[in-house]
Structure 1
């Protein structure tokens, strides 16, 4: 597929809606399980904590997939949220969930959304993903509309 220089607002809104629906499904599941399983709360909390990073790491991969063909010249290489998601996803897929450098991106952890350092284990939680996806969609809209 050729690179994409712009996306319609409709497409961006549909992707945002799909992401919101998946986050909402996660939240509904957690609330329902917590309401049903009041007998062994520590075990339940441990199960949710174990599941959460798998779910939200995969949600980051989903974000990247929606806009994977975006033009890199428009994206830039300045460490913006699009670069951050690209690096997170490449690290998850190719570096066993450990943040790795990308020599083509000027990444500064202090200026990033999630502040991951090179070598950190990537374990996104709900709050991380919501912050990251909000910044990601804002950057998509600012550069590709």
Structure 2
């Protein structure tokens, strides 16, 4: 696995936190806008949330290219989700021959092959936190 220095990891985590904060601010501002017809607002925000955090997952994956994710890891789960978003129309596709493929219903998010990938803020937070913990543990091992 390619190692990343802690400054790079910290900068990436900071960008993720900033993006999460911006999403929350925009969603709250839209909900607080009292003088507009907001009948379709929640549905629109839900669609935006899925698209936004699916795309954030792709950015997270691209920020840490690694040749080996390791079976059962959050890094492997992010790889499988990203690959499915890019190649399988947003439906989780798991190659049973891939030694790094997440177990059905396992991993951080518990998704199974065939499930749609529609990440919420909370799901993205869980998978990105687990992802960063793994990346940081690998970084700490390479530093020490």
Task: Choose between structure 1 and 2: higher helix proportion.
Answer: 1
Match of 2:16 among 13, 16, 19: 19
Aligned to 2:117, what secondary structure does the other structure show?
A: coil
Instruction: Give structure 2 stretches of 5+ with no counterpart.
Output: none
Cα deviation for residue 111 of structure 1 reads 3.1
Instruction: Give structure 1 stretches of 5+ with no counterpart.
Output: none
Q: Is the 8 A contact 1:81 1:132 kept in 2?
A: yes
CA distance in 1, matches of 2:118, 2:85: 10
| Shift in alpha-carbon separation, 1:46–1:106, aligned structure 2, 3 A | closer
Moved over 3 A (4+): 37-42
Describe how 1:1-145 pairs up with structure 2 within 5 A. 4=2, 6-37=3-34, 39-68=36-65, 70-72=66-68, 75-76=69-70, 78-102=71-95, 103-104=97-98, 105-145=100-140
Question: What's the TM-score once normalised by structure 1's chain length?
Answer: 0.88
Question: What's the TM-score once normalised by structure 2's chain length?
Answer: 0.89
